[in-house]
Amino acid sequence: MTLKSSLPIPLADATDIKKELNLKKLELSALLEVTQAINNNLPEYSLYKIFHFTLLAQLHINRLTLFVVDDDWECKICFGTSYNFKKLDQLPEAIKEISEITLISDLNLDAKWQEFETVIPVFQNNKILAFVLIGNSQAYYSDIAALSFVQTISNIIIVAMQNRKLARQRLAEEAIRNEIKIAREVQTMLFPKALPNNQDVVVHASYIPHSSIGGDYYDCVEIDQDRFLFCVADVSGKGVPASLLMSNFQAGLRTIVRQSDDLVKVVKELNHLIYNNAIAEKFITSFLGIYNRKTRELQYVNAGHNAPVMLYEDNSCQLLTEGCTMLGIFEELPFISVSKLQVPNKTLLLCYTDGLTEVFNLEEDEFGLENTINFLKNSRYLSLPKLHEELLEEIKNHNQGSTSFQDDITLLSCRFK
């Protein structure tokens, strides 16, 4: 058996193999550096710096610019160029339309872009994340396979930073959700645990926030054995800022009522509190009433709030409109009046916030006050919980069956026996 001798490798082929091995060695080293940087959880600017030096030192790319998109395109890395691309306001449309590795010479760009040879897009899930522009690289980086590696390593680091950003956003969103949950629990604690229900009067309330936390409020405070104060209020705006201002209002109301039962003083002090604590020009509309079970007298102040409906036994009604302007608009209220009226037997009072009447159907017809009054006339003998339930069902039907309302809805009703 005769063994054939191995044929010598041609010199040109040996040179190409050596160059290919050197290239793979450089690429492996670059990949290792970038992976270690990501695993070390370095900040974003450090990752960009390592990416920069990796391409320069390991892959011998001497001219590079990296544009990353967030809300807009921003140049994150720029080196080896005579023009500072970080000053650029806009990325050319010709580059933004690229979906594959492209030669600069194939694009109609002005002179400053001619410092580069190639544009490399970076994708994730078919969405463009970045563009890498390189120039003055070693000759073998004009090879498409080598350029693909630059694209790969760019993709690894850009996607890693995107994932890290998303992780931070998720943590921030979770923190906000927890804060809102706590605020919601605190807000729930502000509502009275029990409402009057005796031989003289029955009070019932319902609260449906637009979001997880809202700016509506109701309260009922016993003053003495004969009198109690009830209140419905609405902060301009929604969400946490509105709920914080309402918390101040609630704390202030209860503190002031312990010191004085004079409605003029109560309203003036509340106005002073809101004026000095309101954020971003917020204000509060409010209805405050004090009912005396013994004398059947109701005193009230309507501070720019939707007029409560007083429905009498003969189905006639009265709107409680008198009072003052909204709270928190003026340092001193320009006027204030306290109204007093006698409440006959079998009278029904409904206080509400504008989320009830300002429900619109597809034809932009408002549910409105008239529909509210008609509903009360037809349903006045229902128990108050049932009355609230059916009134909310009525506006749900007006809203094409949706329970997604545009504002918080608060109902507080009193049945005077």
Angle formed by the axes of helices 144-190 and 239-259, nearest 10°: 20
Q: Which helix (H) or strand (E) holds 415?
A: strand 409-416
Q: Are 400 and 199 in contact (CB under 8 A)?
A: no
CA atoms of 246 and 241, how far apart (whole Å)? 9
Question: Of all residues in the chain, what percent are helix, strand and coil, respectively (each to 5)?
Answer: 40, 25, 30
Output the pLDDT for position 246.
81
In this prediction, the residues of the chain whose per-residue pLDDT falls under 70 are 1-42, 57-58, 137-145, 179-180, 183-184, 186-187, 210-214, 238-239, 279-281, 401-406
Tokens found for residue 154: 């760019």
CA atoms of 75 and 202, how far apart (whole Å)? 67
Q: Distance of CA 90 to CAs 67, 104, 380, Å?
A: 10, 17, 65
Q: For the segment 69-110, what is each residue's pLDDT rounded down to a tens digit?
A: 887 899 998 989 999 999 888 899 999 999 899 999 899 899
Residue type present at position 15: T
Domain-by-domain residue ranges, the chain? 14-166, 181-416
Output the pLDDT for position 24.
59
Q: For the segment 61-74, what is each residue's pLDDT rounded down to a tens digit?
A: 888 899 998 878 99
Tokens found for residue 42: 């370095």
Contacts of 328 (CB under 8 A, 6+ apart): 271, 274, 275, 278, 282, 283, 284
Residue entry with tokens 């040996």: 14
Tokens found for residue 47: 């990752």
Output the pLDDT for position 1.
37
Topology (CATH) of 14-166: Beta-Lactamase (3.30.450)
Output the pLDDT for position 153.
77
CA atoms of 233 and 292, how far apart (whole Å)? 21
Contacts of 59 (CB under 8 A, 6+ apart): 26, 27, 30, 137, 141, 150
Radius of gyration (Cα) for the chain, nearest Å? 36
| 181-416 is classed CATH 3.60.40.10 | yes
- DSSP 8-class letter at 335: -
Beta strands per DSSP E along 259-333: 284-292, 297-303, 309-311, 317-319, 323-324
In this structure, the strands spanning 127-137 and 201-208 are unpaired
Q: Are 229 and 288 in contact (CB under 8 A)?
A: yes
How many alpha carbons lie under 13 Å from residue 260 in its C-beta half-sphere? 11
C-alpha angle 232-237-239 in degrees, rounded to nearest 5:
95
**pTM of full prediction above 0.75:** no
Tokens found for residue 117: 């040879």
